[in-house]
Each structure stands twice: as C-alpha cells, then as structure tokens.
Amino acid sequence: MKQSKPVVEDYLKCIYAHTEWQSDAITPSALASRLGLAPSTVTEMVKKLAAAGLVTHVRYGAITLTEAGVSAAVAVVRRHRLVETWLVREMGYSWDAVHDEAEVLEHAISDRLLASIDERLGFPDRDPHGDPIPAADGSVRREKAVLLADADAGHVGSIVRISDRDPSLLRELEASGIDVGTTVALNGDGLTVGSKRISLAAPARTAIWLSA
C-alpha cells in the first residue's frame, strides 16, 4: 500500500470509533465527512485498505474492519487515548485541548514510551472523555451505556462518556459541572445534578452517554 502509516491509521481509527458507541456501520460518505476529505479520495483509500485486508466494503455501502483491521485500529486508539490521558494528568492540558495534540503524537510515540506512560498513569482503562483505553493485549472493557437522547425520562445514572468532537461543548459542560462520572437524572430537556437543574441543547444530548 503506497500510503503513509499515519494516513492508514487515521482511517482505521475513524472507522473503529464510528461503531464503538452505536451499531450502524460507517459509509464512504460518512467517513469522508468525519475525515474532512473529498468522497472520491475516501473511495480510493477504502479500495486500498480492502486490498490490504484491513476492511471489507460494499460499493456505496457499509465499510467494516476485518480482524486485522480491528487489531490495527485498536493499537492506534490505545496510543491516542493514553496520550490524551497523559496530557491531562501529567502535562496540565484541559480535556477540550488534548485531541489535536494526541492526533499528532499517536503516530510518533514508541511502544516503549507508551508502556512507560501506561505504567506511570496506573494502567488507566478510560481516557478523560470516558472512552475505553484498550489494554496492551488489545482487549477492551466497555460499560453498558445509553445515549442521553435515547434515555427514558427520569433515567438516573452516571455519565459514562462525553464525545470530544466539539471542544466548545466540552467547555460548556465543564462550566456547568458536568463531567465523566457525574451522577445525573434526566429531567425533560435537561439534567438534574444534585439539586441543580441544567438545560441542554440538542448537541449535548447527542454527545453524552449514561450508565444503563
């Protein structure tokens, strides 16, 4: 495959992340949108990934990681999320500012340094946004969770995960006292945190997952 390793890893990570918290497979158009690339560029790359045995795909339809693709994707996801956790805990970054840094470092960090970071952090199994950090052996421990927008009225649970795709939303939620691990109750179009009621716009309701 005549593509750089970082490019391949970015594709595999994006495909993996798309189905991590929901079951609908990603399509070429959705993949192009998430990567910010032209559909034609993505189509050609998917063909190369398929030729390398990393994905299977239906023309204009679903793209699915093969066993080899999952293994490669999990490895880069592990690096990305450990780096994010390290930047927050050890380097003083805020949780809304780590994604872009991790996007760069995930392709450059050595396995030896990654193992040292993992040990220093106490082998965390969640990143700052609640996404599971795969173990060194590739295993992933996921919690059962429900998207806030799909939860029943009155649902009570702890926040399991908050999507990091919108840094401004992360800052707004943090200012409102909402973080991973916070216990909340679904109340109409908002949440109750202790005795405080917080209204949430639609983007927030599709970015927060609660324990099921």
Query: Under CATH, what is the fold of the domain 5-65?
Result: Arc Repressor Mutant, subunit A (1.10.10)
Identify the pLDDT of residue 2. 52
In contact, 158 and 182? CB cutoff 8 Å = yes
Backbone torsion region of residue 32, taken as left when φ is above 0, otherwise alpha when ψ lies between -120 and 50, otherwise beta:
alpha
Identify the pLDDT of residue 1. 46
Give the start-to-end residue ranges of the domains of the chain.
5-65, 145-211
pLDDT along the chain (212 residues), means of 10: 80 95 92 94 95 92 96 97 97 94 93 96 96 95 91 93 94 92 89 89 92 90
Identify the pLDDT of residue 195. 85
pTM of this structure: 0.90
* 211 backbone dihedrals φ, ψ, rounded to 5°: -60, 140
C-alpha–C-alpha distance, residues 200 and 207, integer Å: 11
Query: Under CATH, what is the fold of the domain 145-211?
Result: SH3 type barrels. (2.30.30)
SS3 for 182-194, per residue? Answer: CEEEEECCEEEEC
